[in-house]
Amino acid sequence: MGNAPRRIVVAVSGGSGMPYAVDLLRALRAIAGVETHLVVTAGAKQVLPTEVDLTLHDLEALASVVHKDADLGAPIASGSFRLHGMAVVPCSAGTLAKVALGMTDNLVSRAAHVCLKERRPLVLTVREAPYPRPMLHNMLAAHDAGAVVLPASPGFYHRPASVAELVAGITARTLDLLGLEHRHAPRWRDDA
């Protein structure tokens, strides 16, 4: 893509886990040459104020471009619009099901479908647990379609001292899976 920005879609759906979305948007903002396209679902708008001290306006201010979830004519709904990848953080069970089944009735599911058909990275950060059988089935179907299912299960090898450090570990994995260079969190036995 030459000197064009690396465009990353960040979709925030209605599952619990808003700190993951905020941390990812902040991390992407710190990486030079990245242009973030944010989509926030109606469910996420309800969950957001219960989990973080940010308004929707504050969240949107962390992105380069904001799209309405109902706008199926947005650029990110087309395979001809060049994207580097997409992360759905958090990924609700409903959004997971839509991705797994190829349903494209909103911009989040349509943009995810585009990433799959164009073979671009798609990271689905599910947080809900335990996983019922339909959700496990949908995770496998999304995986088989080309997505990466990344449960929001933080590691402890770096001895996190805060919730923020736990969240940063998942953000770092997301950035890795999107193929982006970063120094967002410590790595296992990485002396570099």
Can you give the CATH number for the domain in which 103 is found? Answer: 3.40.50.1950
Would you state the torsion angle of the CA atoms of residues 94, 179, 59, 126, taken in this order, to the nearest 10 degrees? 30
Residue 113 in tokens: 């479908």
- What pLDDT, on a 0 to 100 scale, did the predictor assign at position 157? 82
Beta-ladder partners of 39:
11, 67
- What pLDDT, on a 0 to 100 scale, did the predictor assign at position 5? 87
Residue 185 maps to a domain: no
- What pLDDT, on a 0 to 100 scale, did the predictor assign at position 183? 77
Q: Provide the residue range defining the domain that includes 21.
A: 6-177
Residue 91 maps to a domain: yes
Residue 71 maps to a domain: yes
- Tally the domains of the chain: 1
Nearest alpha-carbon partner for 85 in 5, 190, 165? 5
d(CA 167, CA 170): 5
Residue 191 maps to a domain: no
Residue 130 maps to a domain: yes
- What pLDDT, on a 0 to 100 scale, did the predictor assign at position 185? 62
Nearest alpha-carbon partner for 145 in 119, 125, 127? 119
Task: Please tell me whether residue 31 adopts helix, strand or coil conformation.
Answer: coil
Nearest alpha-carbon partner for 40 in 52, 136, 180, 134? 52
Identify the DSSP state of 111: H
- What pLDDT, on a 0 to 100 scale, did the predictor assign at position 190? 64
Residue 169 in tokens: 């570990």
Residue 76 maps to a domain: yes
- pLDDT tens digits for the chain (192 residues)? 457 889 999 999 998 999 999 999 999 999 999 999 999 999 999 999 999 999 999 999 999 999 999 999 999 999 999 999 999 999 999 999 999 999 999 999 999 999 999 999 999 999 888 999 999 999 999 999 999 999 999 888 888 899 999 999 999 999 999 999 877 666 666 655
Residue 184 maps to a domain: no
- What pLDDT, on a 0 to 100 scale, did the predictor assign at position 123? 98
Cis check for the bond before 130: say yes or no (omega within 30 of 0). Answer: yes
- What pLDDT, on a 0 to 100 scale, did the predictor assign at position 2? 59
Nearest alpha-carbon partner for 24 in 89, 69, 77, 96? 89
pTM of the model: 0.93
- What pLDDT, on a 0 to 100 scale, did the predictor assign at position 117? 97
Residue 189 maps to a domain: no
